Amino acid sequence: MNDDADLPKADHADSSLTDPAAQGESVSRLDADTQPDEDPQLDAKGISRRQMLTRSVAVMGGAIAAGVGIPAIFYVAGPAAEDSGTAEWIRLGAASSVEPGTPTLMKANVERRSGYLTSTEELSVFVTTENGTSFEALSNVCSHLGCRVRWVDEQDGFFCPCHNAVFNADGTVASGPPPRPLDQFEVKVEESQIFIKGIA
């Protein structure tokens, strides 16, 4: 066969793209899904060779897609599950610097890890004590919209300047929009130094 002889075959394939009607008979004969009765190659179980192949291709494709797709989900979600470095005890300062009865603002630099990057950020915490031996640490971030609260002696409470919210000395909401008390940190005292651990 020479190239000219090869042409009609190409033309035939061509027609299948532009004019499916011309090939309708062969399509319907091949398309076992829609016209199973006409398929000449039914085996004992009623599954044609074409169906069998289509299904195995689908199964294999699904397996490959799952093999890549499921790890991909973990891969994308990965960093969310990572510990960003707040689970360690952070030293705030000397316990003696906290005045009994008045919340004292203490600051510490915290190293945060995000993926392969580390950054330091300043963490500000109000530390309160009644007797100088047991301590509580409250976040200075308002639980409403994240503004910074400050201690106002006259009101005997934490005041948030954004929406005039007031928290009591123990962090509970006294007035205003905040949905919950100020966040609390876990506190420990070692060698008369205050350490905190927790969220924020």
175 and 165 in contact (C-beta within 8 Å)?
Answer: yes
Does residue number 75 form part of the binding site for another protein (CB under 8 A)? yes
**93 strand-pairing partners:** 194
Q: Which stretch binds another protein (CB under 8 A): 26-34, 35-43, 142-150, 167-175?
A: 26-34
Task: Identify residue 80 by its one-letter amino acid code.
Answer: A
Nearer to another protein, 162 or 189 (CB): 189
* Residues in the chain, total: 200
Q: Which is nearer to another protein, 93 or 177 (CB)?
A: 93
- Strand, helix or coil at 55? helix
Which residue number, 144 or 150, has a Cβ lying nearer to another protein? 150
For residue 130, give both structure tokens: 């009644």
Whether 166 contacts 159, CB under 8 Å: yes
Residues from 158 through 197 that contact another protein (CB under 8 A): 190-193
- Output phi, psi for 167, to 5 deg: -110, 150
133 counts as binding another protein under rule CB under 8 A: no
**Cα–Cα distance between 125 and 92 in angstroms, integer?**
8
Considering only residues 84 to 113 of the shown chain, the ones binding another protein according to CB under 8 A are 91-94, 107-109
Q: Is residue 115 involved in binding another protein (CB under 8 A)?
A: yes
Please state, as a whole number, how many other Cβ atoms lie within 10 Å of the Cβ of residue 150: 14
Contacting residues toward another protein, per CB under 8 A: 1-4, 6-7, 9-10, 12-14, 16-17, 20, 23, 26-27, 30-31, 33-34, 68, 71-72, 74-79, 81, 91-94, 107-109, 115-117, 190-193
